[in-house]
A and B are shown apart, each in its own frame.
Chain A
Amino acid sequence: MPEVIYLYDGSLDGFLCCIFESYAKKEIPTDILQEELWEPTLYSVRAVPSDVAHARRVLRRVAVLSPYAADLLQRGFLTCLDRRELFLYRMVAKLLREGPGFLRNPADEVLYPIIKAVRALNGEAQLLRGFVRFSEFSGVLGAEIEPKNRVLPLLRGHFCSRYRNEAFFIYDRVHREALFYADGKARIVPLEHFEMEAPGAEEAGYRLLWKRFYDTVAIRERYNPKCRMTHMPKRYWNTMTEFQPPSYFRAKNSPSERAVPFAPNGRPGLAKPAESGPSDPG
């Protein structure tokens, strides 16, 4: 059988069409790659055009055999798993060949890498539900995140229901896409560049209040940075209000130094606390 690499446009539909192509042509692709990521090799290459009808047929076939597999397929495509297309292709192939029985065994060798990646994706989305920090700009809420996986589709439902009456957006700096929501409609669109505006006076005030609350609520005698890092790895801190430098808490039209966002009697959130001693309430 000739070795061939499929190229697709990077969308889920495009990828599903690669699966369709493989069954239509009765061949097994050596690799499935996004067009942009392809580098010339000795293998022959075929660009597979996206066709919504074909994509839908593949997804429907998978969903009929097992809704769980269809969910894994869609979620798995959002993960940052290396060569995820090939892993997903193998799962679909096994499903079509053997039926859905093997899906019950998470230790299955075809399934395991996908399940592991999807677990990480779900975990990241779950954490980000709490860690996303919005700022208000004249009535619109905006946030930025830096996730490893493409979590925006997973965050959409949660935030749309939480902020049903609001207008908001979340910008994903890593994958350069943004979730916009207004008037009951949500859309995820690619966005090359985005820069957050400096906060107004009210917004800066709330940031300061939150920073103060965060620093105050920790009990110094229980200081345990390792435990905090286990629950909230440092890679999330970059976009969280409580870990921003003092300039983040200054309103845009007040050049004068506003109060420094640290508690007066020294309960820093980031740095290690001063010598441990009895707490001084109030």
Chain B
Amino acid sequence: MDLLEKLTILSDAAKYDAACTSSGARRGFREGMIGDASSSLAGCCHTFSSDGRCVTLLKVLLTNCCVYDCKYCVNRRSNDTRRAMFSPEELAELTIGFYRRNYIEGLFLSSGVFRSPDETTELMIKALRILRETYRFNGYIHAKAIPGTSPELVEQLGFLADRLSVNIELPSEAGLRLLAPDKSRQAILSPMRQIQNGRAQNREELAKYRHAPRFAPAGQSTQLIVGATGDSDLQILRLTQGLYDRYRLKRVFFSAYVPVVENALLPARDTKPPLLREHRLYQADWLLRFYGFRAEELLDEGAPDFNPLVDPKCSWALAHLDFFPVEVNTADYETLLRVPGIGVTSARRILSARRTGRLRPEDLKKLGVVLKRARYFLTASGKLAPGGRISGEALARTLIVAEAPGAADPPMRQLSLFDSVPQGA
């Protein structure tokens, strides 16, 4: 099998992993090595595939041979598909060849479980060690820690990679039991905890010895599949928040389930991937990480799923109309961030700009505020932005149309003289 064919099989098998970021590492040039990871503090997208996702790393599996039989996965044991495996040298040469041509920022290495988690991780460590030490690669590496791997091996992996991730796969324990019988929640969470502790310990070491080797300097992330089980958005968002709070994750990725297999336990094969739901979850994820929202504010037991028509922030704003309008000249940063259409950047610009004088409604657009949504929720020098005087149900409708012009308007009801008359009056 030639390299081209292997690459095709092994990148095809890896593509359902959502994470493809190269952010969080700051490591400059090192003498005698190839590349750096300094540009990737904010990440760097090298291309976008035809599905609109950023490609920044060479995302491949070491092998797609797998002893597990997770129902949702293309690489499960019982699936009749071609199998392949990279040799460490092939993988290293490919990574360096791509890196030098500026195709990629680094390597994303995952793997099917070959014989056992330990054996697979040993193979991954060997491949990464050859890449780092023999081929002197200094770029970004994201490695998957496979649940069930012994802690010593995870530790070795962490010293070779910039970021580690353990996939949580399914939002609930019940889902795992049903669809991924070989994995348990405990097996997933324990390496996560280990990585968190390892990083904390490493920070102490670095404080003492500046040149101590760094353990997963870009932190850890995880991914969960949305839409393969019946879990609600509220459950997913609570889990996400818990992971950020308790495990200090950098990112939680959501992957809309793409039906690749017929199974009575899974959605039918002709189901469309729930892309809008995934999008709403990402929007909410940003609200958790940068906007000071909590999961309980965005969703509750009464409404456990996101509104498909408006984004989570608008949804929150419509439910809290007494919070608005916000006066941009006096409101504090946290309050500004709650206004739909004002983000982290425009909120900072507002703070800076209003020190030079009072802001007028016409200044806001220049500061990057998205007036299409914001105009209904703020005042500037006591004045509403043009066209901002709508409230109540009309406001919800206006926001829906603003988000998706041309999409079907929510059905308007023909007013009837008799509707308001109670029956039998």
Contact = CB atoms under 8 A, between A and B. Distances in A.
Interface residues of A, number: 62
A228 B258 contact: no
Contacts of B58: 213
Interface stretch (A9-17, A56-64, A157-165): A157-165
A209 interface: yes
Interface stretch (B33-41, B211-219, B305-313, B314-322): B33-41
Interface string B350-394: 001101110100011011000000000000000000000000000
Contacts of A228: 48-52
B103 to A, nearest CB: 5
B47 A214 contact: yes
Given A102-B356, A130-B47, A228-B49, A214 B55 contact: yes
B8 A218 contact: no
Interface in A189-223: 206, 208-210, 212-214, 216-223
A107 B8 contact: no
Contact of B3 (A209, A210, A216, A242): A209
Contacts of A263: 8
Where chain B touches its partner, the secondary structure class is: loop
Nearest to A261: B4
Interface stretch (A29-37, A80-88, A172-180, A273-281): A273-281
B11 interface: yes
B16 interface: yes
A282 B11 contact: no
A217 B101 contact: no
Contacts of B269: 278
A269 B273 contact: no
A130 B272 CA distance: 31
Contacts of A212: 4, 7-8
B153 to A, nearest CB: 28
A272 B52 CA distance: 13
A134 B101 contact: yes
A118 B314 CA distance: 31
A105 B357 contact: yes
B52 A219 contact: no
Contact of A222 (B3, B75, B103, B256): B256
Given A129-B44, A206-B97, A228-B51, A104 B353 contact: yes
B239 interface: no
Contact of A106 (B50, B53, B367): B367
Interface residues of B, number: 68
Contacts of B7: 209, 212-213, 216
Nearest to B362: A107
Nearest to A227: B52
Most chain B C-beta atoms within 10 Å of own C-beta, residue among A130, A133, A222, A278 = A130
A26 interface: no
Contacts of B352: 104-106
Interface in A138-168: 141, 143, 158, 161-166
A135 B32 CA distance: 22
Contacts of A161: 28-29, 36, 38-39
B97 A282 contact: no
B260 interface: yes
B165 interface: no
A231 B8 contact: no
Contacts of B9: 282
Given A136-B100, A208-B4, A282 B366 contact: no
B194 interface: no
The 6 lowest CB-CB distance pairs between A and B, nearest first, are A227-B52, A222-B51, A218-B49, A107-B366, A107-B363, A281-B74
Interface of B: 3-4, 7-9, 11-13, 15-16, 28-29, 32, 34-36, 38-39, 44-56, 58-59, 64, 74-75, 79, 81-83, 94, 97-98, 100-103, 105, 256, 258-260, 269-270, 272-273, 275, 349, 352-353, 355-357, 359, 363-364, 366-367
Given A129-B39, A210-B103, 13 more contacts: A105-B352, A105-B353, A130-B46, A141-B100, A143-B102, A209-B7, A210-B101, A212-B4, A212-B7, A216-B8, A217-B55, A219-B49, A227-B52
17 contacts: A106-B367, A107-B363, A107-B364, A107-B366, A135-B101, A158-B39, A162-B35, A210-B98, A217-B49, A222-B52, A228-B48, A230-B52, A232-B47, A242-B47, A278-B260, A282-B13, A282-B82
